Amino acid sequence: MKFHEYGANLEETAVELVNIKKTFKHQGDLVPVLNGISGKVPNGTILTIIGPSGAGKSTILSLCNLLITPDEGRIYVHGKDVQQWDVKELRRQVGIAFQAAPMLQGTVLENLLLPVRLHGTNLKEPEKYLEYVGLSKELLSREAKELSGGQRQRLSLARTLINMPAILLLDEVTAALDTISAHEIEELILRINEEQHTTILWVTHDLSQAERVGEQTWFIIDGTIIESAPTKQFFSEPKDSRTRHFLERKRDI
Ligand SMILES: Nc1ncnc2c1ncn2[C@@H]1O[C@H](COP(=O)(O)OP(=O)(O)OP(=O)(O)O)[C@@H](O)[C@H]1O
Ligand SMILES: [Mg+2]
């Protein structure tokens, strides 16, 4: 099952950030959160983003589908400045999934059809999407809030896939799950990447996951990319002493 047809025709770069700066107001003061983030994510690849809590990882994701806008700098999605995109269309093409996989009151089917209602797209066989993410169609009439954490995350991914996104932003999507469910969701995401040629920006606290799934890895501290490298090289020969320190400390836990 193929969710989007334009994979082969896309620009080589899915997402490009150019010198992004962002400040948030905190108790009346302006606090810098991103201090000039630049980088490219090639089409169809997986980028893993790691770093301590508060480093700015989620903020980077929020910028890519215009949940927030930068104070300075430019973000390009498929070569087009996000400011030039129609927001609805951008959010259809740039899907986002979170740790919590929030569900609305109602059945699995109603939750699954949410993007259809929001965007007015046509959906003929909703059960196909459930099947794709490994959920039985028997679940369609169940209350979504009654699903297990792993099932909710699958449903959340199915809901995102309905929009046929070319890019997926993932924020700690396996953090709340037990080890087995986390691995299953990880496998599912890798399959989506492989079969749909979906570009993935994947924020995770799980360093072995970042190492397993990534092709490129960014390590961020205090809103700055300290090190960006192909994932294998990043983990086997980290160049920056702060990266080495972070990897050693985390591995000891
Ligand atoms: N909407 C907001 N308003 C004010 N401050 C914010 C807002 N969003 C994020 N921040 C601040 O920006 C900084 C970076 O937050 P962000 O959520 O991007 O970090 P993170 O790297 O995702 O951390 P974690 O690993 O804990 O999820 C933090 O200091 C946070 O308090
Ligand atoms: Mg975060």
pLDDT, tens digit, for every residue of 161-202? 888 899 999 999 999 889 999 999 999 999 999 999 999 999
Please say if the pLDDT value at position 230 is more than 70.
Answer: yes
- Among protein residues, the one with the nearest Cα to ligand 1's atom 10 is 24
- pLDDT of residue 4 exceeding 70, the answer is no
Per-residue model confidence (pLDDT) at position 115: 77
**Neighbour-count burial of 252, counting CB atoms closer than 10 A to its CB (0-12 exposed, 13-18 middle, 19+ buried):** exposed
Quick check: 6 pLDDT over 60?
no
Rounded to an integer, what distance in angstroms lies between the CA atom of residue 248 and that of residue 216? 20
Ligand 1 atom closest to 52 (CA): 25
Q: How far is the CA of 57 from the centre of ligand 2 (A)?
A: 6
Pair of tokens at residue 226: 């300290």
Percent of the chain exceeding pLDDT 90 equals 77
pLDDT of residue 125: 84
Atom of ligand 1 nearest to the CA of 51: 21
Question: Measuring from atom 24 of ligand 1, which residue has the nearest CA?
Answer: 53
Kindly give the distance from the C-alpha atom of residue 134 to the centroid of ligand 1, in angstroms, as a whole number.
Answer: 33
Report how far ligand 1's centroid is from the alpha carbon of 206 (Å): 18
- Asked if 7 and 199 count as a contact pair (C-beta separation under 8 A), the reply is no
* Residue 191 CA to ligand 1 centre (angstroms): 30
Question: Per-residue pLDDT for 7 more than 70?
Answer: no
Mean pLDDT of the chain: 91
Pocket test for ligand 1, best of 21, 24, 25, 171 (most atoms within 8 A of CB): 24
Q: What is the arithmetic mean of pLDDT over 50-73?
A: 96
Among 74-83, 111-120, 211-220, the range scoring the smallest mean pLDDT is 111-120
User: Which atom of ligand 1 lies at the shortest distance from residue 56's CA?
Assistant: 18
- Write out the DSSP string of 38-86: EEEEETT-EEEEE-STTSSHHHHHHHHTTSS--SEEEEEETTEEGGGS-
Range 206-231 average pLDDT = 97
Tell me how far apart the alpha carbons of residues 139 and 107 are, in angstroms, rounded to a whole number: 9
Closest Cα to residue 43, out of 173, 188, 168, 197?
197
pLDDT at 117 over 90: no
List helix spans (H) across the chain: 57-64, 87-93, 108-112, 114-119, 126-132, 149-161, 179-196, 207-213, 231-236, 241-252
Q: Which CATH number is associated with domain 7-252? A: 3.40.50.300
The span from the CA of 62 to the CA of 49, in Å, is: 13
- The model's confidence at residue 9, banded by pLDDT at 50, 70 and 90, is low
Model confidence, pTM = 0.93
Residues 60-89: what's their mean pLDDT? 95
Q: Which atom of ligand 1 is nearest to the CA of 172?
A: 27
pLDDT of residue 249: 82
Ligand 1 surroundings by CB, under 6 angstroms: 24, 26, 33, 51, 53-59
Q: What's the CA-to-centroid distance between 136 and ligand 2, angstroms? A: 31
For the chain, domain boundaries = 7-252
The encoded tokens of residue 199 equal 């570009």
114 touches 106 (CB < 8 A):
no
Tokens found for residue 237: 């020969």
Mutate to test the pocket of ligand 1, among 20, 49, 59, 202 (most ligand atoms within 8 A of CB): 59
Mean pLDDT, range 196-216, rounded to an integer: 96
The residue nearest atom 2 of ligand 1, judged by CA position, is 24
Find the mean pLDDT for residues 232-242. 97
Per the model's pLDDT, the better-predicted residue between 25 and 101 turns out to be 25
